[in-house]
Amino acid sequence: MSTPALTVNAARKQFGGLVAVNDVDFEVREGELLGLIGPNGSGKTTMLNLISGALKPTAGEIRLGAERISGKSPHEIAQKGVARTFQLVRVLPSMSAERNVMAGAVFGHARLWGDEARDVARDLLARVGLEKRAHLPVSALTYIDQKRIELARALASNPKLLLLDEWLAGLNPSELQIGISLIEELGNEGRTIIMVEHVMDAIRALCDRCVVMNTGHKIAEGEVGAVLSDPEVMRAYLGDDEDA
Amino acid sequence: MTRLTTEEIRIGVIGAVVVALVALLPFFDNGFYLSLTVNIMLYAALCTAWTLFSGPTHYVSLATAAFFGIGTYAVGLGIDHLPFPVLVGVGAVAAALLAGIVGAATLRISGVYFVVFTLGLAELVRQLVSWSQSKFTGRMGLYVFTDIREMHILWMLLALTVVVFLTGWLINRSRLGFAMEIIGNDETVAKHSGIDTARAKILLFMISGAFIGIAGAIMAPRYAYIQPPSAFNPMISFLVVIMALLGGTKRLWGPLVGVIPFTILMDIVSSRFPNHTYIVMGIAFLAIVYLLPNGVTGRLEQLRERLRHRQPKPEAVSEEKPA
């Protein structure tokens, strides 16, 4: 079997006495769309932060392909091909939509410059449906449009691995449909994606497999339908009382 | 990003005319106005070099006097042994090295810590120079005798300012400039987009420091006798910050708007009320921070924006409405 796109091996993150990520293992295959789910505070975002380098693991190892990325700084990991979006949307407010997206193309994995970077940004803006607003400052855009910018910026680096941290959160039902089909397209193109998500319909619709975390531990992993009907997963989400 | 815009060409032409006019000044006056213009050019160079770094990063550096003094001392120490242009280069490299060390040590920390550190650094360098001079040479100062006259100094400062502007313009068109724009917006996004933020900031701080060092070296022959309190005068650091903030640091030419009136003001104050310069500086600083937080140029841009909103063009409105 070929090397997985991402290997997480006994990753651990400790903040003082609190173990936010407790020796978690999983793999993401090339071209796979993996869901990372769990109740609030279960350590999902911390896990993404360990992969993207925002936090350094206390112990354990993370590999992108064959290369160890754990312990490296965020910009090195970004250059090696990990791109991410943020739980609370982060755009570059004083810059136009186009330049926001170019940021990913210029400094990320792709490392383009000049017209090449601009062309990539324009194509991606068209892709997320913002071609008409390419020259507006992003501070003038709506919430979903800012989320689209963030996604386009992450994609502009042509990443080997895309991390989406609750990218669908806060969207209204019709926007959610648009968002889901956008991610679906990315999956069909063969992008390798990890998505942290609370919207279960999206996980069911999009993911090949999912990993479930609770209080820092991985409690389940596998095909989405099977995992979601796992008694331990139901207990994590709904509490101990089985009659509930 | 590769072609010149008409605006850039226009600014270039205006700039060339201004430079030519300033360069011709020594042929018309060799006294008061030349001396005043040298002061204006000095602060034009210093403030623009300062803004090169502090504009995009919003880090307020008070280390200007340290870089300036190092440049001055490079000339003072070497003038009997090496040609002047070489010493200007030495001053630039020494100042850039100091900026690199300071940057590596402090640019990871931000805000007020950086301000205090740079102020302390300038004082430390001054004390070290004083101490080593009295310890090893037994003299308090250094003589700099050259045949460089005031008009040569003006020309050199003018050339330096032009080079600082060209550098700033080239940086803005480069990856470094784009990186700084992103860092200024959101440093977390910058890091996760693949920008080595520490390296970018240190590099820019070094470029800025090198130019300030060159300015110090150019000024050395004017002082003739160099002492630590004058070469590392903290007034230089504060004046640069005040003038740059008065002009506005969003654009590289912003500080010029502050430099010209403020240098003239300081000249009048220091000749008529020599004991009150610090009071004027203090009041000016408070006034700028309270009344013009974005400087004169920022204020003008704000007014222009407001005028445009009052008489909106029809097509501009329809474009801004969400579809």
Domain locations along chain A: 1-73+162-167+192-244
CA distance B136 to B154: 34
Query: Please, what is the average pLDDT of chain A?
Result: 92
In which band, very low, low, confident or very high, does the pLDDT at B312 lie, cut at 50, 70 and 90? low
Q: Do A90 and B191 touch (CB under 8 A)?
A: no
pLDDT at B294 over 90: no
User: pLDDT tens across A144-156, in order?
Assistant: 899 999 999 999 9
Which of A75, A136, A142 has the CB atom closest to B191's CB atom?
A75
pLDDT of residue B316: 42
pLDDT of residue B315: 46
pLDDT of residue B108: 72
* Contacting residues of B for A115, CB less than 8 Å apart: 1-2
In which band, very low, low, confident or very high, does the pLDDT at A240 lie, cut at 50, 70 and 90? low
* Contacting residues of A for B189, CB less than 8 Å apart: 86, 90-92, 103, 153
Q: Do A153 and B193 touch (CB under 8 A)?
A: yes
| Type and span of the H or E element at A19 | strand A18-28
Burial classification of residue A73, based on how many CB atoms lie within 10 Å of its CB (0-12 exposed, 13-18 middle, 19 or more buried) = middle
Task: Give the minimum alpha-carbon distance from A9 to chain B in angstroms, rounded to a whole number.
Answer: 22
From chain B, which residues contact A within 8 Å (Cβ)?
Answer: 1-2, 175, 178-179, 181-182, 184-186, 188-197, 319-320, 322-323
The SS3 call for residue A54 is coil
Q: What average pLDDT does this structure show over B185-203?
A: 94
One-letter identity of residue A34: L
CA distance A153 to A148: 9
pLDDT of residue A150: 95
Contacts 24+ apart (CB under 8 A), B194-200: B194/A75, B194/A78, B194/A79, B194/A104, B194/A107, B194/A108, B194/A109, B194/A111, B194/A157, B195/A75, B195/A107, B196/A73, B196/A75, B197/A75, B198/B104, B198/B107, B198/B108, B200/B176
In which band, very low, low, confident or very high, does the pLDDT at A238 lie, cut at 50, 70 and 90? confident
From chain A, which residues contact B within 8 Å (Cβ)?
Answer: 52-54, 73-75, 78-79, 83-84, 86, 90-95, 99, 102-104, 106-109, 111, 113-115, 118, 132, 136, 140, 142, 153, 157
Task: Find residue A62's DSSP bridge partners.
Answer: A8
User: pLDDT tens across B14-67, in order?
Assistant: 999 999 999 999 888 888 899 999 999 999 999 999 999 998 888 899 999 999
CA distance A94 to B58: 15
* ipTM above threshold 0.90: yes
User: pLDDT tens across B57-72, in order?
Assistant: 888 999 999 999 999 9
Better-scored residue on pLDDT, B6 or A54: A54
Structure tokens that stand for A223 in this block: 């095909």
pLDDT of residue A212: 94
* CATH of the domain spanning A1-73+162-167+192-244, picked from 3.40.718.10, 3.30.1280.10, 3.20.20.70, 3.40.50.300: 3.40.50.300
Interface probe with B: pick from A64, A96, A107, most Cβ of B within 10 Å: A107
> Token pair 């990063």 is at which residue?
B57
pLDDT at B272 over 80: yes
The contacts of residue A32 (CB under 8 Å, 6+ apart) are A5, A192, A193, A208, A209
pLDDT of residue A192: 96
Q: Do B182 and A142 touch (CB under 8 A)?
A: no
Question: In angstroms, how far is CA B3 from the centroid of its own chain?
Answer: 28
Interface probe with A: pick from B192, B195, B201, most Cβ of A within 10 Å: B192
Sheet strand arrangement including A18-28: A18-28, A6-15, A59-64, A67-68
- Name the nearest CA neighbour of A180 among A200, A161, A163: A200
User: pLDDT tens across A124-135, in order?
Assistant: 999 998 988 989
Write down how long chain A is. 244
pLDDT at A123 over 60: yes
Structure tokens that stand for B138 in this block: 């037994």
Structural domain boundaries of chain B? 6-233
Query: Please, what is the average pLDDT of chain B?
Result: 88
Q: Give the least confident one: A216-225, B10-19, B89-98, B305-314.
A: B305-314
CA distance A141 to A132: 12
Better-scored residue on pLDDT, B251 or B138: B251
pLDDT of residue B110: 67
Which of A114, A140, A157 has the CB atom closest to B194's CB atom?
A157
pLDDT of residue B137: 76
Interface probe with B: pick from A90, A92, A113, A155, most Cβ of B within 10 Å: A92
Q: What average pLDDT does this structure show over A109-125?
A: 93
b vs e for A87-108, b when ≥16 Cβ sit within 10 Å of the residue's Cβ?
bebbbbeebbbbbbbbbbbbbb
User: pLDDT tens across A185-229, in order?
Assistant: 999 999 999 999 988 889 999 998 999 999 999 999 999 989 988
- Provide the percentage of residues in chain B whose pLDDT is more than 90: 53
